[in-house]
Structure 1
Amino acid sequence: MGFPVTPFDLQEQIDEKALQANIHFLVENGLDSVFVCAGSGEYQSLDIKEYERVVTVGVATVAGKVPVFAGAGGNIREAVERVQLAEKHGADGLLLLPPYLIIPEQEGLFNYYRTLAQSTSLPVIIYQRDNAIFTLGTLEKLANLPNVIGFKDGLGNFELNIEFVQSLGSRLQWMNGMPLAELTMPAYSALGYLSYSSAISNYIPQVSRTFYTSLLAGDQATVSSIYQEVILPIHRIRQLRKGYAVSLIKAGMNIVGLPVGLEVRTPLVQVEREHYVRLESIIKRSLDLVAIANNG
């Protein structure tokens, strides 16, 4: 699953041409779906008009080649409005993000996600992370809603995930939404999570694809090489500063020549020069590694 960024110019206005380039790049490199206005797209910093514009540009740019999902969450009233705007402008589905700040009881969590799901006819994916942590009973009730089709996990509690998959099975599509999901995908795939959100696909999609196909094929040698040379080194850089989950993507895209710039909206910070140079070296090494793997 591809999660494009929201590019900003030096005045922090949305750069629509750069957004189009980002989305074209994902589609042309074989991503199976595109999710706009989610975490990588700095959902939290977009006002309602910007949200509407990003969804509109995303749908038009993809032009039906793959499904387009839009994120929506936070303040319940604004979230409902965004859900309905996404449907109005042609999104194929929605990723329902956690509520703002509050750590709710399960009843409140159920009511929040049910409200969003019932405000649209589009298929929706439930996102578990941070302050939205489900019990099996709550997820079962949500899975009974006719348009709830998937569950994306960004928490990483494997005991809970096993309980979910074993209890609900094929009633939901199971998606790995952990930060740098390649890092945990071997463990998730063993549980039945067969798709994942790839941040690095924004700049090295060929690496992400080679990693995943090698994982499914049982090619442990290639999986291990990509771990050692690409995934773990990028993961170590991401851990150096809070917010690098977003700003490091833009740095990677800048390195490979995609015109998105490095601007992020506060409270995020840009990637430090030293870390940028380290990422540049990893990206060069990763492309060489994939070329070797794909040439046998």
Structure 2
Amino acid sequence: MTATAPRPFGRTLCAMITPFTAAGALDPDAARAHAARLVAGGCDGIVLSGTTGESPTTTDAEKSALLRAVRAEVGDGVPLLSGVGGPDTAAALRLARQAEAGADGLLVVSPYYSRPPQAAVEAYFLRVADSTGLPLMLYDIPGRTGVRVEPETVLRLADHPRVVAVKDCSYDLLGATRVLARTSLAYYSGSEELNLPLYAVGGAGYVSTVANVAPRQMRAPLDAFDAGRTDEAARLNGLTAGLVALMMASGLPGTVTAKALLDAGPVREPLQPAGREAADGLRKAYEELLAA
């Protein structure tokens, strides 16, 4: 990690859950309280209305209310990104304009379901970038969208002045390294097991679901790496592996596993809550990490 690596939104970002009441409505007060805990726990910034934030099942009005509530809690000193994008370019543009009233940047997911070719993916991102004054973090998560944002496409998009960052869930470390070598884009890991490896080759940090429940523990390996204690960074990273595996690789979505560990209300259908066995396993791994 070089001292000159760009970090436009900070280094340690949380992909925040969206709290709901027991009846399933947005809970702005719980969102404010959770955001305050994240910042106190070492999160430099917060990403709202992303995958973990259940964006496909929240309305435009709820997304706006969530952004207002968290901004009121954390103030202007904490970068907030709002998730936009989806299968409909017009809807992405509408959400981008809406987010300008409070967000510091946009997390723009690649268009999903229709599986457009790369020329159309590029055109979609450019349409969003041209429609707003906010900087963009491209969100490459092919496991959910069904389409990559190929490295060559990212290289072309990097020429746009408002495309400044990437949240990388592609599991393509080589591709990320190639883009890092040829651009000034800030690469944020979106896959916790690659937080430290991507950081070590010049990444900006991470956007983490697991940080909802363990912000200090997720941050610790990067702090150690920056201090030159690479062996300690690897050790601390290894301590998180058990919880990361259960939260992110157990077959349950990260939203479900995070809410199983938090008093944040239900998940919205079609998601279903974690079963008792899964919840007990998560709690055990969480307590072991806190005790380590």
Does TM, scored on the shorter chain, surpass 0.5? yes
* Runs (5+) with no aligned partner, structure 2: 1-12
**Does residue 1:247 correspond to 2:262, yes or no?**
no
Q: Identity of counterpart residues, as a percentage?
A: 25
3-state DSSP of counterpart to 2:15: coil
Q: What TM-score does the superposition give when structure 2 sets the normalisation length?
A: 0.88
1:118-197 aligned at under 5 Å gives the runs 118-130=130-142, 131-168=146-183, 171-178=184-191, 181=192, 183-197=193-207
Query: Which whole-Å CA distance do the structure 2 matches of 1:189 and 1:151 have between them?
Result: 13
Q: What TM-score does the superposition give when structure 1 sets the normalisation length?
A: 0.87
Q: What residue is the counterpart of 1:257 in the other structure? A: none
**Does residue 1:232 correspond to 2:247, yes or no?**
no
3-state DSSP of counterpart to 1:197: strand
Query: Which whole-Å CA distance do the structure 2 matches of 1:10 and 1:194 have between them?
Result: 37
**Does residue 1:95 correspond to 2:107, yes or no?**
yes
Q: What residue is the counterpart of 1:7 in the other structure? A: 19
Cα pair distance change 1:144/1:220, threshold 3 Å: closer
CA contact (8 A) 1:229 1:282 kept: no
CA contact (8 A) 1:128 1:151 kept: yes
1:70, distance to aligned residue in structure 2 (A): 0.4
**Does residue 1:85 correspond to 2:98, yes or no?**
yes
Query: Which whole-Å CA distance do the structure 2 matches of 1:70 and 1:83 have between them?
Result: 8
What is the aligned-residue RMSD (CA, Å)?
Answer: 1.9
Q: Deviations over 1:174-221 (max 9, x none)?
A: 11112xx1x112321232113101222212212112232123345455
Q: Deviations over 1:146-167 (max 9, x none)?
A: 1111112111112212221122
Q: What residue is the counterpart of 1:281 in the other structure? A: 284
Which one of the candidate residues 210, 214, 223 is aligned to 1:204? 214
Task: Return the structure number with greater relative CO, CA threshold 8 A, min gap 6.
Answer: 2
3-state DSSP of counterpart to 1:6: coil
* Runs (5+) with no aligned partner, structure 1: 255-259, 290-296
Query: Which whole-Å CA distance do the structure 2 matches of 1:134 and 1:277 have between them?
Result: 37
Structure 1, 106-115 or 159-168: larger mean CA deviation: 159-168
Q: What residue is the counterpart of 1:69 in the other structure? A: 81
Aligned length: 276
Query: Which whole-Å CA distance do the structure 1 matches of 2:180 and 2:66 have between them?
Result: 33
Cα pair distance change 1:133/1:241, threshold 3 Å: closer
1:102, distance to aligned residue in structure 2 (A): 1.7
Q: What residue is the counterpart of 1:293 in the other structure? A: none
